[in-house]
Amino acid sequence: MNDQRNPFGGKNPHGMYVPMTDEEIEVLYRLAEAGEFKILIKGEGTNGQSVEWGYVTGFKVGKYHGPENYFGQSIVTIGDKRITFVFRMNFNAPALPQPNYFFDMEVWAMGHLFFSQRFPTVNPMGKPIQVVAGMYHDFALDVAVDQIDPKIVKEIKPSALGLTTRHGNMHLDTHHQRLLAKTQAGERAIRDLTNHEAVKATKKMKKATGQ
């Protein structure tokens, strides 16, 4: 059986990333199996202010098998670095169609905010999508988990001992330290690019609404 791993212990030998610990992965599975995950979706109202469009619950551990086999079920897939949520958002507002330049998505579980990100919803032509009551959108939210707050890990798994995150718990030689620095720099660059696109979408919204 081939059990090759990357230099930091990740299960994908071709991916350069720092994986979660077994304790962190177990916590995510416990939350998923208990049905604790909730995704809150926010957008902008007619006055340009943030409004809640709704939320999605009922996530079950599974895998997405393509659009032809998807019928709106809430799916969560947990890896050793990423957690992916596939879900359908049914809109019950607004009453009249209005442009939407971004969605703010928040992943919650047991009263804790695990992840928050603004996602632009502008097409390549620079036009925002339209939202209106009665419509739905299917989403795939893919989250790279750097680490989970140790306090949350021990709250959900009290038996967890010692360090519950791999960051700061690795003994690396000089070569692997350099690899880690490059890997973390690449992850920061991706986050910066995502944040830049979110800022652009926000500016377009403000310009369109005269703010």
Q: Where are the domains of the chain?
A: 22-209
Residue 187's closest CA among 17, 11, 21, 13?
17
Q: What's the predicted TM-score (pTM) here?
A: 0.75
Q: Is the pLDDT of residue 107 over 70?
A: yes
How far are the Cα atoms of 4, 18, 79, 158 from residue 15, in angstroms, in the given order? 11, 9, 13, 31
- 14-23, 90-99, 136-145: the lowest-pLDDT one: 14-23
Q: Is the pLDDT of residue 178 over 90?
A: no
pLDDT of 35-50, one tens digit each?
A: 999 999 988 766 667 7
Q: Please give the distance of CA 44 from its chain centroid, rounded to a whole number.
A: 20
What is the model's pLDDT at position 209?
Answer: 47
What is the model's pLDDT at position 70?
Answer: 96
